[in-house]
Amino acid sequence: MIKLFADGADKAGILEMYQNPRIAGFTTNPTLMRKAGITDYVAFAKDLLSEIPDKPISFEVFADEFDEMERQALEIAGWGKNVYVKIPVMNTKRQTSYELVQKLSQAGVQLNITAMMTLEQVNKVAESVQGGASCFVSVFAGRVADTGIDPVPMMQEALELLKNAPNAELLWASPREVLNVYQAEAIGCHIITATNDILKKLELNGKNLDVYSQETVQMFFNDAQAAGFQL
């Protein structure tokens, strides 16, 4: 069964998902943190880790130069045994981070290599992490789909590429709908990370569609009545 990770930066929402036995880990990123109004990165991370000491949590570096990325990665890794350090596959100058990934992985740092969107990137990362620490290879399948490309065949190929790196797990990132969870599971993807609103829709599995149709009509009717619409 595919592992479900919750993606977000709202502490209450994260802790709600922590109580759900189906949730196996957590991811976040600087953009989500900014949207959540977080200003103290370290305090936020350590506060979460004090409440979630036993499931993987990914925290991202936010430097653009690789030497500073390395320094930040080593500091973040020291926050807890369940921490995975997110390293982007490239910096803003499109310089790839494969050498840094290899160095950190061989040093025992658990990584989440992020913002990946091509099979070439997956192949290079697979080579970089071979024999290293446990890591997640985060392919942004949802963003790939946004460009009009079906991500499913690509994710299937990514799984094949990662067979040479048994310490690496493929993570389906940026899903757009709950269907993506079922697609990821069907191909044997190891992990999918999703926002709480998508994860909660998993409760609809097997729901009678006639009942769902009636409930939708009821919603439209109730809202029209509440709005006081007239013709």
Mean pLDDT of 161-185: 97
* Predicted local distance difference test score (pLDDT) of residue 220: 98
- Residues 26-36 have pLDDT tens digits of 999 999 999 99
pLDDT grade, residue 42 (50/70/90)? very high
* Predicted local distance difference test score (pLDDT) of residue 197: 96
* Predicted local distance difference test score (pLDDT) of residue 117: 98
Percent of the chain with pLDDT over 70: 100
Mean pLDDT of 208-212: 98
* Predicted local distance difference test score (pLDDT) of residue 152: 98
Mean pLDDT of 126-133: 98
Mean pLDDT of 97-122: 98
pLDDT grade, residue 199 (50/70/90)? very high
pLDDT grade, residue 168 (50/70/90)? very high
* Predicted local distance difference test score (pLDDT) of residue 57: 98
**According to CATH, what is the number of the domain 3-205?**
3.20.20.70
Tokens of 204: 């609809």
* Predicted local distance difference test score (pLDDT) of residue 207: 98
* Predicted local distance difference test score (pLDDT) of residue 140: 98
Domain ranges of the chain: 3-205
Mean of pLDDT over the chain? 97
